[in-house]
Structure 1
Amino acid sequence: MEDRIIIEHKLKDRKSFKDIARELGKDPTTIAKEVKNHIQLRNTGC
């Protein structure tokens, strides 16, 4: 869960999967899969 929070914050800071993976000691593919499996889209009303 802690890694997911870090991933969320780094994505908000516009970091790449590669940068996030390097910081967490994971493979970039693992980060991409984690994001894909847990993404939640919100309607903005536009």
Structure 2
Amino acid sequence: MEELQVEIEFKNIDELKKLLQSAINQIEQLEGTLDKISKFKIQVV
């Protein structure tokens, strides 16, 4: 897996927590999408 680097600038810890939670949510959505694609590919093949 390639290394992923994300630059984050924040003024307080609450802002950082919100950014991290947003990133986690997007990763979970991506995982769900990839899972659906995988299942779809299995059905098509």
Name the TM tier (shorter chain).
0.3 to 0.5
Highest relative contact order (Cα 8 Å, sep 6+), 1 or 2? 1
* TM value normalised by structure 2: 0.35
